[in-house]
Structure 1
Amino acid sequence: MCGGIQYQGDKSWARLDSIKTGKWKPWHSRSALIPADGFMEKDSEKQSHWIAFQPGRMIQALLAERNDGRRVYIVTEETPPDYRCTHDCRPRLVQVTKPA
């Protein structure tokens, strides 16, 4: 499982369910969006898998603040069955309104 809060070390993700249960409140967290057209995951055999987005989607992130520092974490959620060959969680994609 992806876990919950990883403020120290090299982890840079925040599981959606940990956000919903309030585990990130001590870090004065705010939502952020990351523009991208896809992301890459490696499976257990270290093979790369590129996942492309539909137009108008962005990666949801969380901006956490602690003392004088700020960090950005990718919000993750359970991986759809079609992509379980990589991990049990993946970046959460959100649909955004396209500019006029």
Structure 2
Amino acid sequence: MPVQYYIFLSVVLFCIGIMGVLMRRNAIIIFMCVELMLNAVNLLMVAFSKMWADAGHVDAGAAQIFVFFIMVVAAAEVAVGLAIIVMMYRNTHSVDINLLNRLKN
């Protein structure tokens, strides 16, 4: 399959993530959109590593190992982010980010 398909899919996923972050007010949806953008970049990195490996320029596993480490960091980010969202819900009984000014006390 040509790499242009992967590039197009990655750009579409990244744009959906950006629109979700900019337009939504729900903290969980924003968090999911950030993860979607991160996975779009991972898809693009794997597609380019496959393209360069097929051309014989680089090792195919180098970028894929880097993507694996990005996914490990993303898993830690999910744990911390969801803990913050749960604490926000306990304090305000809502996950609307417009209500975060109540947490200043």
Larger Rg: 2
By percentage of residues, which structure has more strand?
1
Identify whether the pair has TM-score above 0.5, normalized to the shorter chain. Answer: no
By percentage of residues, which structure has more helix?
2
TM-score range, shorter chain: under 0.3
TM score, norm. by length of structure 1: 0.24
TM score, norm. by length of structure 2: 0.24
